[in-house]
Amino acid sequence: MRHTLPIAPQFYVTAPQPCPYLEGRMERKLFTSLQGEGAEQLNDSLSLQGFRRSQNVLYRPSCADCAACLSARINVARFRPSRTQRRTLRRNRRITRRATSPWATEEQYDLFRRYLDSRHADGGMADMDVFEFAAMIEETPIRSRVIEYTDPDTDELVAVSLTDVLKDGVSMVYSFYTPDRPQDSLGTYMILDHVEIAREAGLPHVYLGYWVPGSPKMGYKAGFSGLEVYRDGAWQPMTDPSRHAATTHPLSVPPIAEQVASLRLPDRRPTHGNSRQGLTGR
């Protein structure tokens, strides 16, 4: 089904399918294509309204009887690492960071496969081949970077994040890491390092994707201070995670057409210049 505003872009909704986060639920997504000279402005605008990017598509959960998925970001100015997170930083202090253009490599794919086979063998990406992996990394119409993390003692690639540079932050589109070092908490370390990346670039937020109360897969995001969630049309500081209900009465979910009509779209007039700072290695 297509839902259209008087001007582009056009929005669509997927057919319902089983939710990957909450058993017994069905999910659907509202999405639009990301292309053309206004792609960056559209990505910036819709990211502020809870959308996420996957290749050349922007999407947001729009389930008929559930509103559990909440877009989450870290407010860099309000973030303070916990004692456990400080230990994670110390444990990985020798790891080096390198930011590159979004090009896929065999070394990245090998690490990606080991990560999936260990952590998500039954997930939706389990059958992704090298060509699909390359498309995930390289098909981006906006400013994206691949952040590689290497152990200098072994010269081993231990973690990778595909990261978008937004007007107001960095967005961790997808990340993966070696399953051979569980004691190093590399997933947490990458988020902590992206807080530092945002600080270095003068950007106020780190976008983490969706936090889903009640889903063990997503629970770790609630452990970061300065966390904000997009709820009821606005970004709100995270309160006690237990207070965020995972259900919504079906009659309280606005119709798709109403959701689309309420979206704030960017001015389509051309802009000049780009004040965004670069992402660097370390």
pLDDT in tens, 134-164: 999 999 999 999 999 999 999 999 999 999 9
pTM of the prediction? Answer: 0.88
Q: Where are the domains of the chain?
A: 76-206
249 versus 241: which is more confidently predicted? Answer: 241
- Mention every residue, 6+ apart, whose C-beta is less than 8 A from residue 174: 136, 161, 162
d(CA 192, CA 74): 10
pLDDT tens string 262-279: 899 987 655 444 445 567
> pLDDT above 90 covers what percent of the chain?
63
CATH number of the structural domain 76-206 = 3.40.630.30
Most confident of 24-33, 39-48, 63-72, 255-264: 39-48
pLDDT at 273: 46
48 versus 232: which is more confidently predicted? Answer: 48
Helices in the chain by DSSP H: which ranges?
39-47, 83-91, 106-119, 130-138, 186-201, 256-261
